[in-house]
Copies of this chain bind each other. A is one copy, B any other.
């Protein structure tokens, strides 16, 4: 089997922590180059820009875009226009307009575009989805609490306009819950706690409902001491589901059904390989749309400064 030739765009922390090992572990994917103006990766030809990489590696099949969010749209457009498949780290754009544009461009060109939501590839998500598909849901409660100082040291951009604040981890929960169900949820109320000296929320409570009135309540908080709580509990008429550890552990009616180590990025790249093989795209804007709806509809309250 011949491999798909992949280039990385952006070679920062998430690439070193997750992408490199995951790509190496994926049969049928070969990392052939990386583009980053500031850094290079050992053992991989480096380019200062996507443009230089496209010129220097004309046989590239695909690029994975892992730059800061606000750069992704222009780079993804450039790659799609050169006929490359594109993987976008989460979130897939700084605005909804950017993601809709990329989705339309990929459709028009019949190119592969993958808006990757890594939390959807947590080990317990597939079984949770299947279990729920056979039951009548009555309520969903999400708790997504972590200590921002432990999990995002020095990431001051989180607090600037567009940085998303607690929605940076919260969107992971939203990406899981929107994968668990095919039905839509609608935001009714949101409360956003914004530190006096920041632009983005340090905590958020969202109240959504589906079309039949089933409540989905989400509680995101950055002020939680370690260990984190990345959990959701879903009640149904036929029993109760508990997903914890960010999707690593699944308890169904009190019985442990899944308890496995985290390996989201290898699964994510296996999915990308499948998309490349079948020529399909996977672009779900819903998690980012829920964040935008919450920022538009949410009631903001000032809380103590964060430093």
| Stretch in A39-47, A233-241, A273-281, A296-304 touching the partner | A296-304
Q: How far is the CA of A228 from the CA of B100 in the complex (A)?
A: 34
**How many of these chains are in the complex?**
2
Q: Which residues of B contact A73 (CB under 8 A)?
A: 186
0/1 string, A88-103, CB within 8 A of B gives 1: 0000001111101100
Interface size on A, as a range, is 20 to 34
Q: Which of B77, B101, B199, B296 contacts A292 (CB 8 A)?
A: B296
User: In the complex the two chains form, is B289's CB within 8 Å of A77's CB?
Assistant: no
0/1 string, A153-178, CB within 8 A of B gives 1: 00000001110100000000000000
Q: Which of B286, B290, B292 contacts A295 (CB 8 A)?
A: B292
Apart from A97-B185, A97-B293, A292-B295: 10 A-B pairs, beta carbons within 8 A: A97-B184, A97-B286, A100-B184, A100-B289, A101-B211, A161-B190, A161-B297, A289-B292, A291-B296, A292-B292
Q: Chain B's nearest CB lies how many Å from the CB of A182?
A: 12
Q: Chain B's nearest CB lies how many Å from the CB of A97?
A: 5
| Chain B minimum-CB-distance residue to A77 | B211
Q: Which of B95, B293, B298 contacts A297 (CB 8 A)?
A: B95
Q: How far is the CA of A45 from the CA of B187 in the complex (A)?
A: 34
Q: Which residues of B contact A211 (CB under 8 A)?
A: 77, 101
Knowing A162-B296, A162-B297, A295-B296, the reply to whether A187 touches B290 (Cβ < 8 A) is no
Hey, which bits of chain A sit against chain B, CB under 8 A? 73, 77, 94-98, 100-101, 160-162, 164, 184-187, 190, 199, 211, 286, 289-293, 295-300
| Chain B minimum-CB-distance residue to A186 | B97
Knowing A101-B186, A186-B73, the reply to whether A161 touches B300 (Cβ < 8 A) is yes
Q: Chain B's nearest CB lies how many Å from the CB of A12?
A: 22
Q: Which of B77, B97, B199, B291 contacts A187 (CB 8 A)?
A: B97
Q: How far is the CA of A292 from the CA of B296 in the complex (A)?
A: 6
Q: Chain B's nearest CB lies how many Å from the CB of A175?
A: 15
User: In the complex the two chains form, is A199's CB within 8 Å of B300's CB?
Assistant: yes
User: In the complex the two chains form, is B297's CB within 8 Å of A97's CB?
Assistant: no
Residue of A95, A98, A160, A162 with most chain B CB atoms under a 10 A cut-off? A95
